Structure 1
Amino acid sequence: MIYRNVEFQGIVVSRKNYRERDMLVEIYTDKYGFKTFLVRGARKRGFKLSAAILPFTFATYVGSINEDGLSFITTTKNLKQFQSINQDIFLNAYATYILELMKYAYQSDDLISLDWFEKTVSSISAINEGLDPQIITNILEVQALGRFGVQPNWQYCVVCQGVKGPFDYSESYGGLLCVRHFHLDSQRLHLDAKTVFYLRKFSVIDINRISTINVGDKTKENLAKALTTIYDGQVGIYIKAKSFIEKMNTQLY
């Protein structure tokens, strides 16, 4: 089915040359998820939509959506360029990872969520505006676990429902264990109190309400390791940008 002359919001994920003068542009849209658009004449000098198909451009688009094949763009309006991300290789890596993470999250079914689209755009906007890219990404990683069928209990001990810590994370039990039940899982992640505190906070925080971030380097390192362990062990996806981020963090920490 083809939806003609429809209006939607989207953020450009990637693009590549196609044939002599055209491009294939992947856009994460609010209504149709990830779609690939054939943009004819995109490589010609003076192409009128050139700004609208640059990576990390957020805009309102009008065009035709093909459920099964390539879609098309007619016109655009309200363009916003994430300039800082385009100019910084590290910020670019985090933004790329976020978009690829969302793409994996929507491979499991055809459900399109406006809430998740808005959350993704808010995350990329926050990174572009100077908020700590790792922490913003970690917040989205924690909240996205449910999209992969992993829904950890971050609120209380999964055994006794106790709300008093210290806590640790158990993959086997699918959530937190309080200190009285640490003995039940020798393979728990052995996280320090600060890391657990932030993981719990990340699970409920609204990215749009964050104005400042002040997390120490050691805690950031521990958060990255914890989430890598959870994603490797319980989600099992590979995203190329994540490897670059991990190498970058190795140099930073």
Structure 2
Amino acid sequence: MLYRMEGIVIRGTDYGEGNKIITILTPSHGKQGIVVKGARKPKSRYSSLAQPFTHGDFSFYKSGQLGTLNSGEIIESYRALREGLEEAAYAAYAAELCDRGVGEEDAGGFLFHQLKACFDALAEGKDPQIVIRAFEMKIAGIAGYAPLLDECAGCGRTGVPFRFSPGAGGALCPYCRGKDPYALDLSETAWKLLRLFAGLDLRRLGQINVKDALKNELRLAMRKWMDHHLGLKLKSQHFLDQWERLAERIDSDMRAPRADRPAEPE
């Protein structure tokens, strides 16, 4: 049977002599695996359509688990996300989260539009750490692991200072903190941003300017949450962790006073 659907390439694997198997995330048919014949050959007509992050229109025959590409057209190549090291790191992480963090039954239109919005935001130069933290919250919610942020996960109290506990399910009030001695003590601004991410449609994400210390709070909170509830060992995550630690170290070195720099007069 011949199918035609919109999709975003979230994974690609070499297959046979010059072919590729791609996985596309679609708004109407979840994730679809498609063989693109000759995709790795220099003169391939559809090599660009099989590139990571490509948003396209795919026409393919399918009778079993995999389809075979018949024709296709690029809607948005997201070339900039493949050419920049930082952009590629964040986009690859977002794509792998969709591929491995969300089951087939939950890979619907909302996930498709959130991934596309994530790619759009990265391509537009919005702060990638903020974009990806918001996208992680979307993945957590779609996968069924959204944290409780407005009331205590232990007793339901509201309007009190909270700590953030992945193990307990989110916010913990002072009376329930004993349930998780390792719960994180986050700033009030971090709590506000986590709540914003939880309710935000990424298609409406504006430019958010956040200090590095706050970015680190959000990164730690979401990483512990994702590790506890999804438990994924992602190749892209390992690289992204190294990248963010390097960026943090460079920024810290740039802000630190140099011994050979004369002190400014008072």
Cα distance in 1 between the residues matched to 2:9 and 2:210: 30
Q: Measure the CA separation in 1 of the matches of 2:72 and 2:20.
A: 16
Match status 1:79 vs 2:48: no
Pair 1:218–1:65, CA change in 2 (3 A): farther
| Aligned residue number for residue 220 of structure 1 | 215
Quote the Cα distance in structure 1 between the aligned partners of 2:99 and 2:13: 18
Structure 2 match to 1:7: 4
Cross-structure match for 2:47? 50
The answer to whether the Cα contact below 8 Å between 1:13 and 1:55 also exists between their aligned partners in 2 is yes
| Secondary structure, aligned partner of 2:150 | strand
Alpha carbons of structure 1 residues 38 and 181: separation in structure 2 relative to 1, 3 Å: closer
SS at match of 1:250: helix
Is residue 124 from structure 1 mapped to residue 127 from structure 2 by the alignment? no
Give 2:246's match in structure 1, choosing from 222, 229, 251. Answer: 251
After TM superposition, the structure 1 = structure 2 runs for residues 59-138 of structure 1, keeping only pairs within 5 Å, are: 59-68=56-65, 70-107=66-103, 109-138=104-133
Q: Which amino acid aligns with 1:103?
A: D
The 1-side partners of 2:64 and 2:214 are apart by 44
Query: How far is 1:160 from its partner?
Result: 5.0
Equivalent-residue separation in structure 1 for 2:42 and 2:188 (angstroms): 57
8 A Cα contact 1:52 1:79, kept in partner? no
Contact 2:61 2:69 in 1 (8 A): yes
Q: Which has the higher strand share?
A: 1
Q: Which residue of 192, 199, 209 corresponds with 2:194? A: 199
Structure 1 unaligned spans of 5+: none
- The residue identity in structure 2 corresponding to 1:22 is N
- Return the TM-score normalized by structure 1: 0.87
> What is the alpha-carbon distance in structure 2 between the residues aligned to residue 251 and residue 66 of structure 1?
47
Structure label with greater radius of gyration? 2
- C-alpha deviation, 1:5, in angstroms: 2.0
2:261 matched to 1:230?
no
Distance 1:65 1:191, change over 3 A: farther
Counterpart AA for 1:47: S
Aligned equivalents of 1:161, 1:18: Cα separation in 2: 52
Q: Following the alignment from structure 2 to structure 1, what is the Cα–Cα distance between the partners of residues 27 and 134?
A: 21
Say which SS state the counterpart of residue 3 (structure 2) adopts. strand
Q: Distance in 2 between matches of 1:135 and 1:12?
A: 23
Query: Is this contact kept in 2: 1:85–1:95, CA < 8 A?
Result: yes
Q: Distance in 1 between matches of 2:166 and 2:40?
A: 49
**Distance across 2 between alignment mates of 1:44 and 1:137:** 33
TM-score where L is the length of structure 2: 0.83
Distance 1:247 1:44, change over 3 A: closer
Q: How far has the Cα of 1:232 moved from its partner?
A: 1.9
Conserved in 1, the CA contact under 8 Å of 2:41 and 2:47?
no
In the TM superposition, residue 233 of structure 1 has moved relative to its aligned partner by 2.3
> Considering only aligned residues, what root-mean-square deviation do their CA atoms show, in Å?
2.2
Corresponding residue for 1:20? Answer: 17
Runs of 5+ unmatched residues, structure 2 = 249-266
The answer to whether the 8 Å contact 2:3/2:62 transfers is: yes
Point out the more displaced range, 161-170 or 83-92: 161-170
Amino-acid identity (%) = 26
Match of 2:28 in 1: 31
Q: How many residues are paired up?
A: 248
Contact 2:102-2:139 at 8 Å conserved across structures: no
Instruction: Report the CA distance between 1:127 and its aligned residue.
Output: 0.7
Aligned to 1:143: 138
